[in-house]
């Protein structure tokens, strides 16, 4: 039931963005909206139109902050309605299993992300002007100056960006930056990350949709034209239709539905199983594929995929399970160097960037769209472990992807190879909304210029 207040003069409807994985759209109605707008803006919602605001963050924690905003709105006597899908996302705790700052708990991780969000917002609003950037071999670094305040060095991207040092003058900060990074230094701010581009598209899409619903808009607004992108950057597509096509084309698989929200398909050998969860959130797992030693034996390997995974990637997984020899799928091989090389040969042939970071072996896409494959050499050595050995993702990093497919230690190399081939060769559609006429990440009203907070690590 929606929350109500007897004297409420405004009504705020909160819902997940129809295309962005976690962004939240606020729709305002009522005769008096000033308090509602101010409350939403205080928690990071950006104005799109007079009656539409959008919360889009670089740490994908929008449902968490939307829930806080809803409480503040109720306290102000404003009626709030939250869609069921957003409620489910709010109640789903993101564990951040691969967060690089392993010593932090969940709330401390949120504090780091909040600081990174403020840096992002300061740059987007023009409060922090970036002079130069570089890549230090691991991540992006930059130097910039706050209006009427300190100059800073920045380290990292998106939710991991931090201030690594402060300086009294821009000339001092720039000179030290050039000394540290030399020939890697480039002028201006770095290119937008995948996460930042997603935020831009989300805001543009809401703006286009909102303007199309106004009385002055054309009765048939121009539809967004899809662009052809690498498969790892494509929209998820229709997973329900993919499941139906799979079941209709595979007579050797028997379907049953033990619950309304779950469909299960078993191979006639009773050693292969596909499970699909209907109506999950974009970051939740909705596909689980597993192989068993025998009908009542132990599980040999399994794969899981989130609901935001492009259907072409899921199709490569299902097609392999449906067409590969059952005996091959039940070999349960060890993750040897030769097996890893066989599984990732399409990545090597396509020239994907190869690197080693601790126990992780990583292949990353060479183009502007971000995607990759990660092998965790530590995971197969752990008895009865639940850590994924293979992580295949699209988005900024494997630590916080737009979508992810995980495979356990004994996944057949042929299966991994088919998926990596799809990663290198596959393509998909992503809608491109019409341009909105200005920088999508900037607020409609620029914030007042204030001095930047004092930061640790001052250099004199």
The model's pTM: 0.54
Q: Strand pairing of 79-82 and 11-16?
A: parallel
Whether 426 shows a pLDDT value over 80: the answer reads: yes
d(Cα 351, Cα 371) in Å, to the nearest integer? 13
**Sign of the torsion angle spanned by Cα atoms 453, 108, 80, 214:** positive
Nearest to 439 by CA among 152, 154, 192, 159: 192
3-class DSSP assignment, residue 393: strand
Report the alpha-carbon distance of residue 43 to residue 280 in Å, rounded.
26
- For residues 253-260, give the mean pLDDT: 89
Tens digits of per-residue pLDDT, 202-211?
A: 777 665 555 5
Over its C-alpha atoms, the chain yields an Rg (Å, rounded) of 24
For the chain, the structural domain boundaries read 1-94+195-222, 106-191, 233-432
Is residue 188 classed as helix, strand or coil in its secondary structure? Answer: coil
- Residue 453's pLDDT band, with cuts at 50, 70 and 90, is very low
Beta bridge partners of 258: none
3-state secondary structure 57-96: CCCCCHHHHHHHHHHHHHHCCCEEEECHHHHHHHHCCCCC
Please identify which residue in the block is written with the tokens 């640790």: 456
Least confident span in 63-77, 257-271, 317-331, 392-406: 317-331
Nearest CA among 22, 2, 115 for reference residue 64: 22
Who's near 177: CB < 8 A, 6+ residues apart? 132, 134, 141, 143, 153, 185
SS3 percent helix, strand, coil of the chain, rounded to 5, is: 30, 30, 40
pLDDT tens digit sequence for 94-136:
555 556 777 887 788 888 888 999 999 888 888 899 999 998 8
Whether the CB-CB separation of 375 and 389 falls below 8 Å is answered with yes
pLDDT of 224 over the 80 cut: no
Predicted confidence band of residue 274 (pLDDT cuts 50, 70, 90)? very high
pLDDT at 280: 80
Mean pLDDT computed over 153-157: 93
Instruction: Output the pLDDT for position 210.
Output: 52
3-state secondary structure of 134: strand
Q: Which residue has the higher pLDDT, 280 or 270?
A: 270
Section 11-26 average pLDDT: 86
Work out the mean pLDDT of the chain and round it to a whole number. 82
- pLDDT beyond 70 at 406: yes
Closest CA to 403 of 281, 294, 271: 281
In the structure, what pLDDT confidence band is assigned to residue 437 with cuts at 50, 70 and 90?
very low
């Amino acid at each position: 039931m929606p929350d109500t207040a007897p004297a409420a003069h405004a009504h705020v409807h909160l819902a997940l963005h129809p295309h962005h994985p976690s962004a939240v759209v606020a729709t305002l109605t009522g005769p008096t909206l000033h308090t509602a707008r101010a409350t939403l803006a205080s928690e990071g919602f950006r104005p799109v139109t007079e009656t539409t605001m959008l919360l889009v963050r670089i740490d994908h924690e929008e449902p968490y902050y939307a829930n806080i905003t809803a409480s503040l709105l109720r306290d102000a006597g404003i009626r709030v309605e939250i869609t069921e899908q957003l409620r489910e996302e709010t109640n789903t705790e993101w564990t951040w299993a691969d967060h690089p700052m392993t010593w932090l708990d969940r709330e401390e991780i949120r504090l780091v992300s909040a600081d990174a969000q403020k840096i992002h917002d300061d740059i987007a609003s023009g409060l922090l002007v970036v002079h130069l950037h570089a890549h230090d071999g691991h991540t992006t670094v930059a130097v910039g100056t706050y209006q009427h305040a300190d100059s800073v060095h920045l380290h990292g991207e998106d939710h991991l960006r931090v201030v690594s040092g402060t300086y009294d003058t821009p000339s001092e900060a720039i000179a030290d930056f050039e000394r540290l990074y030399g020939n890697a230094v480039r002028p201006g701010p770095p290119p937008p990350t995948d996460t930042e581009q997603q935020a831009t598209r989300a805001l543009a899409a809401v703006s286009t949709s909102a303007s199309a619903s106004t009385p002055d808009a054309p009765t048939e607004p121009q539809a967004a034209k899809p662009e052809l992108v690498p498969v790892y950057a494509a929209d998820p597509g229709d997973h329900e239709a993919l499941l139906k096509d799979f079941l209709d084309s595979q007579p050797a698989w028997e379907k049953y539905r033990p619950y309304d929200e779950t469909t299960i398909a078993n191979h006639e050998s009773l050693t292969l199983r596909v499970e699909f969860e209907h109506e999950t959130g974009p970051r939740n797992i909705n596909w689980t594929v597993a192989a068993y030693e025998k009908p009542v034996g132990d599980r040999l390997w399994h794969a899981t995929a989130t609901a935001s995974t492009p259907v072409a990637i899921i199709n490569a997984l299902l097609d392999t399970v449906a067409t590969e020899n059952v005996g091959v799928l039940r070999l349960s091989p060890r993750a040897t160097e030769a097996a890893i090389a066989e599984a990732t040969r399409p990545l090597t042939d396509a020239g994907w960037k190869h690197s080693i970071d601790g126990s992780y072996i990583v292949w990353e896409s060479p183009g502007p769209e971000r995607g990759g494959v990660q092998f965790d050499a530590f995971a197969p050595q752990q008895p009865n472990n639940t850590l994924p050995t293979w992580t295949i993702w699209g988005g900024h990093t494997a630590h916080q992807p737009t979508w992810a497919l995980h495979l356990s230690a004994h996944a057949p190399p042929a299966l991994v190879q088919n998926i990596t081939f799809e990663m290198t060769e596959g393509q998909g559609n992503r809608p491109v909304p019409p341009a909105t006429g200005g920088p999508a990440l900037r607020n409609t009203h620029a914030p007042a210029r204030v001095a930047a907070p004092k930061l640790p690590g001052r250099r004199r």
